[in-house]
Amino acid sequence: MNCKKLFVALLMAAMAITACKKTSEPVEEIEPIVAEDIASFKETASIDLGGETAAEISAYDPSTKKLFVVSNDGGAKVEVLDLSNYPTVTKSRTLTYPNNAGINSVAVSNGLLAIALDGADKQGSGDVVVLKTSDLSEVKKITVGAMPDMVTFSPDGNYILSANEGEPNDAYTVDPNGTISVINVKNNYAVKTLDFSSFESQKAALVAGGFRIYGPKASFAQDIEPEYIAVSSDSKKAYVTLQENNAIAEIDIVAGTITKINPLGTRDISLTENAFDVSDLDAKIALGTWPIKAFYLPDAISYFSTEGNNYLALANEGDTRAWKGYDEEVRVKSLKLDPTKFPTAATLQLDGNLGRLTVTKAFGDTDGDGDYDELYATGGRSMSIINANTGALVANVGKDLEQRVIDAGKYDDTRSDNKGVEVEGVTVAQVNGKTLAFIGMERVDLIAIYDVTIPTAPKFVQLFATGDAPEGVLFVRPKDSPNGRSLLIVASEGDGLVKFFQPNKI
User: What is the pLDDT, as a whole number, of residue 1?
Assistant: 46
| Type of residue numbered 412 | D
Higher pLDDT, 307 or 177: 177
Would the pLDDT of 212 be above 70?
yes
As a whole number, the mean pLDDT across the chain is 94
- Preceding peptide of 470 cis, ω within 30°: no
- For residue 25, what pLDDT band results from cuts at 50, 70 and 90? very low
User: What is the pLDDT, as a whole number, of residue 15?
Assistant: 43
- Do 215 and 196 meet the contact criterion of CB atoms below 8 Å apart? no
Q: Where are the domains of the chain?
A: 97-262, 264-465
SS3 sequence of 302-331: EEEEECCEEEEEEEECCCCCECCCCECEEE
- Beta pairing class for 376-378 and 293-295: parallel
User: What is the pLDDT, as a whole number, of residue 307?
Assistant: 84
User: What is the pLDDT, as a whole number, of residue 29?
Assistant: 59
pLDDT, tens digit (0-9, with 9 covering 90-100), for 122-163: 999 999 999 999 999 999 999 999 999 999 999 999 999 999
pLDDT, tens digit (0-9, with 9 covering 90-100), for 339-354: 999 999 999 999 999 9
Buried residues in 121-153 as b, exposed as e (16+ CB within 10 A): ebbebbbbbbbebeebeeebebebbbbbbbbbb
- Do 248 and 242 meet the contact criterion of CB atoms below 8 Å apart? yes
Angle (CA) 302 307 308, round 5° = 85
Distance between CA atoms of 86 and 101, rounded to whole angstroms?
A: 33
- Among 156, 164, 162, 163, CA closest to 186: 156
- Among 127, 90, 132, CA closest to 109: 132
User: What is the pLDDT, as a whole number, of residue 108?
Assistant: 98
- Do 150 and 162 meet the contact criterion of CB atoms below 8 Å apart? yes
pLDDT, tens digit (0-9, with 9 covering 90-100), for 36-78: 999 999 999 999 999 999 999 999 999 999 999 999 999 999 9
- Among 214, 220, 151, 213, CA closest to 180: 151
- For residue 32, what pLDDT band results from cuts at 50, 70 and 90? confident
Of the CA atoms within 13 Å of residue 118, those in its CB half-sphere come to 21
User: What is the pLDDT, as a whole number, of residue 151?
Assistant: 98
pLDDT, tens digit (0-9, with 9 covering 90-100), for 409-453: 999 999 999 999 999 999 999 999 999 999 999 999 999 999 999
Would the pLDDT of 20 be above 80?
no
- What are the distances in angstroms from CA 476 to CA 468, 482, 487, 496? 22, 9, 5, 20
Domain 97-262, what fold? Methylamine Dehydrogenase; Chain H (2.130.10)
pLDDT, tens digit (0-9, with 9 covering 90-100), for 385-421: 999 999 999 999 999 999 999 999 999 999 999 999 9
User: What is the pLDDT, as a whole number, of residue 280?
Assistant: 98
- For residue 99, what pLDDT band results from cuts at 50, 70 and 90? confident
